[in-house]
Amino acid sequence: MDGYVWWYVDALSDDEQYGLTLIALLGSVFSPYYAWARQRGGADPLDHCALNVALYGRQGKRWAMTERGRAALQRDRTNLVIGPSHVRWEGDTLVIDIDEIGAPIPSRLRGRVRVHPTGINGRDFALDAAGRHRWWPIAPLARVEVTFSHPRLNWKGSGYLDSNRGSEPLEYAFKGWDWSRTELKHEAAILYDTRARDGQGACLALRFDANAEIDTFAPPPRAPLPTTSVWRIARGIQCEAGNQPRVIATLEDTPFYARSVVETRLLGQRTTSVHESLCLDRFSTPWVKMLLPFRMPRVKH
């Protein structure tokens, strides 16, 4: 009853002016309501679902993450409906219809995102020694079309799709992690550097061709990045020895999580990476959970 699954999409526009992240969550791992329900015993993960939407660009940042209960959830093999939003497969294309209200300042986010994978990977990976947490890089390379009426947006770019699932809360197994995905010439590279509580977490360095065929490579050495300016989240990324990565933009600076765009060097190429740093020790503190409802409201339907 303490499990979770999420599906994650990110994309950067071809002109480098826009970006987005979408996360459909069942058993929302960062929900204070789910954490409080577990403390009371018998928490139902399907009673804690949400579609997280984050838009970045010239008009500033828009964010929505409204948690909903089981009554707002419908799902089958190719469809996932969470409240007014709908995620579905149409052939080989993932279509996300978004109709959400932003927070903390209410504003409508309404639009459609179409994700066109160049190939689908069928292999997933354990992130912990016990195998309770698994990660599936579904489409390491994709083209993404973004069309929104609220706010008015229309762009195309490179993207990525993955999924994580687990049978216990993330903070039970991990102190945190750094993750990044990089689009290279005709291929993609993904680095996953976990900090497990038992010291046996995964350190993955994977490369994928356009058909999503996998090859591994030796994880590069870790290089520090500046801590975030507001919440002082520690960040680091693996890159080729002798090269200093550079943060181009900090997209999210929260009490326990940072999302960034980082310029780095990997596999002989100068690249731009979408990067995240997660501090689950910080997330586990009561004061952080008290702050989260301001950004993650919950509705009953």
For 22-33, how does the pLDDT look when each residue is reduced to its tens digit (9 = 90+)?
999 999 999 999
For 165-181, how does the pLDDT look when each residue is reduced to its tens digit (9 = 90+)?
999 999 999 999 999 99
For 64-78, how does the pLDDT look when each residue is reduced to its tens digit (9 = 90+)?
999 999 999 999 999
pLDDT at 42 over 80: no
Number of domains within the chain: 1
**Res 301: pLDDT:** 66
Whichever domain contains 224, its CATH number is 2.40.370.10
Residue 200 lies in a domain: yes
For 228-253, how does the pLDDT look when each residue is reduced to its tens digit (9 = 90+)?
999 999 999 999 999 999 999 999 99
Residue 299 lies in a domain: no
**Res 41: pLDDT:** 85
Largest Cα span, the chain: 53
* Separation CA 191–CA 267 (nearest Å): 12
- Give residues with Cβ within 8 angstroms of 204, minimum separation 6: 125, 190, 191, 192, 193, 216, 219
Percentage helix, strand, coil for the chain under 3-state DSSP, each rounded to 5: 10, 55, 35
Q: What pTM was estimated for this model as a whole? A: 0.97
pLDDT band at 93 (very low <50, low <70, confident <90, very high): very high
For 258-298, how does the pLDDT look when each residue is reduced to its tens digit (9 = 90+)?
999 999 999 999 999 999 999 999 999 999 999 999 999 99
Residue 72 lies in a domain: yes
Chain mean pLDDT for the chain? 96
Q: Which domain holds residue 35?
A: 4-294
Residue 50 lies in a domain: yes
Q: Is 96 helix (H, G, I), strand (E, B) or coil?
A: strand
Q: Is 3 helix (H, G, I), strand (E, B) or coil?
A: coil
* Separation CA 220–CA 245 (nearest Å): 12
